[in-house]
Structures are given as structure tokens and as C-alpha cells.
Amino acid sequence: MSVSLSKVCGGITASTTLRLNALVVELRAQGQDIIGLAAGEPDFDTPANIVAAANRAMEEGQTHYTAVSGIPSLRQAICDHLLKEKGLPYEKSNIIVGTGAKQVLYEALRAIIDPGDEVILPAPCWLSYAEMTCMCGGVPVIVDSRVEDGFEPDIADIAAKVTEKTKAILINSPNNPTGAVWSEKTLRQIAELAEEKDFWIISDEIYEKMVYDGSRHISIATMSDDARKRTILISGFSKAYAMTGWRLGYAAGDKSVIAAMDAYQSHATGNTNSIAQFAGVEALKGPQESVEKMVEAFGQRRELMLSCIRQIPGITCIEPKGAFYVLLDIEDCIGRVYEGKVITDDGVFAELLLQYAQVSVVPGGPFFAPGYVRLSYAVSEERILEAMRRIAQFVGDVMKQKSA
């Protein structure tokens, strides 16, 4: 057979996190007691009131196609949420609902990127951003941040990467994988630079509810009228409402860009699942206690994980203020030999940890964080304690070994 794949699909690297999740499932099926700290989803079930709303929607026959951009009641609920929580005034025509934040994020890039356009990605960042940019023919421009700045990007570093071809900056606070919650100062500087150099801002705010220790999530769209108009705000239900499987996310932005995303989505997928949309209305309008309880539990687990890490020589981390991840610095382990294998990078570290300590973590490389691995604390306190005991043992053994 001589048929070939397209350049776009041939060049895509499949999501590392999803691949690792699949490996964990396989090892568990073989009977191994793997502790999964790799997952990017809450371990809680969707709150009962949301599930009940979905059941009601099905019983009431809400099982047909809907408007491509979503049912009016959900788009209105999103407008109400954005006004109440962030003070952002939007109308329904500023909102599109799609199959997870992932889909609307991709559509946002599709709507604004022409081949060769550059998208600035402050890093470390979620591994899909660069791939999505490439899938649109765009060029990801990585701007590294520093651990000593708590992984907040430096505006001078960003400004240095702006060119004639810069079409957008894609930011994410609270951040995956660093857990950093960016300050108002940084957001304001980015908004001002975007205005001065005239490029779009895509702001992925999917972890908006997950902030700890008195930290506050601020949307860059609130910085000024100009910032709101040039920001495509992305969020969704997966993390805040433990609804990863429902596939429900949204974008808010200028009517022209939302209309373009709507046109694209109308041919690519159409509306997202009608039942999930009715559930989404309940998520936003119904009681919020379950979200608060979940965030409280994440806060406690975060403390627990941090206190364990502080006791393990050879690894360090900054205190994450949001999301549910810790980015662990494993640089001191690199170059050492374990079970006859040289730990050449974070990928090998993660592999050996899975094989010999039965703990799955995500290597930092695909997040533009080489020398780090990402740990998720979306697991029970009991499992965190056991995972950290195993990691302590593993790192202790690694540190006893000489460098290669």
C-alpha cells in the first residue's frame, strides 16, 4: 500500500499523559498495585445533583441536536458565572460551548492562526498547546520561566520573542503542570504588551476554582476593556465539577471570533452532547458545596504531599498555589545509575519509578520542563502517603548510586 498520512497527522506526538494512563491500566490488569499520580482529573465522582439533571434531561427527551454553540440556557448560565465570579460582562453571542475545553481551545487557534503565524507559549505549559498550534500550521514559540520566579513568566523574556508574525499568546493560570497562580502584575504586563503589539490572548482558565492558601485566580480579561476584547477565555466543567467524561467546555470572546469558531465546529462536530449541556446548567446554577468540599480536600492533600516531599533528600519543588499538581525537581537524580540503567532524563526516571516503585508520574519533558516530573494529588491521602513512601525509597536508592 503506498497511501500515506498527511504531514499534519504524521507529525503529531500523541498525548503522553493519555499514553501513560493506558500503561497504568495495563499494569493494573496484570495485578500490579500501581499508584497513579499521573492523572489529570479529579478522583471525585460528578456531584449527584448534576447527574440527576442529566437523567431528567434524558427523561424529558432533551436528546436531539442543539444549536451548534450550545443551548441558550447554558450559554446564559456561563454569562452569569463569568459576571459573578470575574466581573466580566458577556452576552450569549460571546459564548460557544464545545466538547471540553480541549475542543474550544483548538477551535480558538483554528479561528485565528494562518500557516506560519507564531503563538507564544510561556512554559512550562500543558503539552497539547504546542501540538495544537502545529496542527493549525502555526509555530509555537516557547518562553521559559524560572523556578526562582515561581514559574511566572518574565515580561522581558516574552517581549523579546514578539515578532511581526506573533498572532497570539496562550496563557494558563492556575497552571498545569507548575501549579503556579500568576500575579495581577504579570497578567497586566502581558495584557499591555498584547495591546501594544496587537496580538490575541488565549487564556486557559480551566483550573480557576482550584486555588489554595489564600491565592486568587485573576482572569487576564479583567485587566482592561481592550484585554477583554482581545482575550479568548477558555474554561469548562471537567476539573471544577469533576465532569471529565462528559466533555463539556466553553470559550468566551469577541463575537467575531466566536462566530468563526461556531462555523468551524458546525462542520467538525456540531453541538456537544445535549444531555451534558443540561447537566452543565445545573453545575453552574445548582448548589456549589460539592465543589468547595473537593477543593478543600485537594488543599489538604497538597499540604500532605508537600510535607512528604520536604523530607526526601534529592528532590525539591516550589509550593504550587493552584490546580492539583506538584512539579518535582529531580535534576539531582539525573546522571545516576539505577538497576544498571542510567537515568538520562525525566522520561527514564518516570519509567524506572513505574517499573520498580509502582508509582506513575508524568515526565516534564513534554511540558517543556526537562529535569522535572509532574505529580498529581487528585488521589486519596492514604494513597499519597504510600506513593511518597515508595518515592522516598526509590530516590534514596538512586541517590546512593554514583553518577554514570
Ligand X SMILES: Cc1ncc(COP(=O)(O)O)c(C=O)c1O
Q: How far is the CB of 32 from ligand X (least distance, A)?
A: 25
Q: Which is nearer to ligand X, 109 or 312 (CB)?
A: 109
Query: 245-264 mask for ligand X (x: CB under 6 A)?
Result: ----x---------------
Q: Which is nearer to ligand X, 151 or 338 (CB)?
A: 151
Q: Given candidates 238, 265, 274, 358, which one binds ligand X under the rule CB under 6 A?
A: 238
Determine if 101 is a binding residue for ligand X (CB under 6 A).
yes
Q: Which is nearer to ligand X, 249 or 363 (CB)?
A: 249
Determine if 40 is a binding residue for ligand X (CB under 6 A).
yes
Q: Which is nearer to ligand X, 206 or 395 (CB)?
A: 206
Determine if 102 is a binding residue for ligand X (CB under 6 A).
yes
Q: Residues 299 to 338: which contact ligand X by CB under 6 A?
A: none
User: What does the H/E/C string look like for the chain?
Assistant: CCCCCCHHHHCCCCCHHHHHHHHHHHHHHCCCCCEECCCCCCCCCCCHHHHHHHHHHHHCCCCCCCCCCCCHHHHHHHHHHHHHHHCCCCCHHHEEEECHHHHHHHHHHHHHCCCCCEEEEEECCCCHHHHHHHHCCCEEEEEECCHHHCCCCCHHHHHHCCCCCEEEEEEECCCCCCCCCCCHHHHHHHHHHHHHHCCEEEEECCCCCCECCCCCCCCHHHCCHHHHHHEEEEEECCCCCCCHHHCCEEEECCHHHHHHHHHHHHHHCCCCCHHHHHHHHHHHHCCCHHHHHHHHHHHHHHHHHHHHHHCCCCCEECCCCECCEEEEECHHHCCEEECCEECCCHHHHHHHHHHHHCEECEECHHHCCCCEEEEECCCCHHHHHHHHHHHHHHHHHHHHCCEC
Determine if 244 is a binding residue for ligand X (CB under 6 A).
yes
Q: How far is the CB of 206 from ligand X (least distance, A)?
A: 4
Query: 171-210 mask for ligand X (x: CB under 6 A)?
Result: -x---x---------------------------x-x----
Residues at the site binding ligand X, with contacts judged by CB under 6 A: 40, 100-102, 126, 172, 176, 204, 206, 236, 238, 244, 249
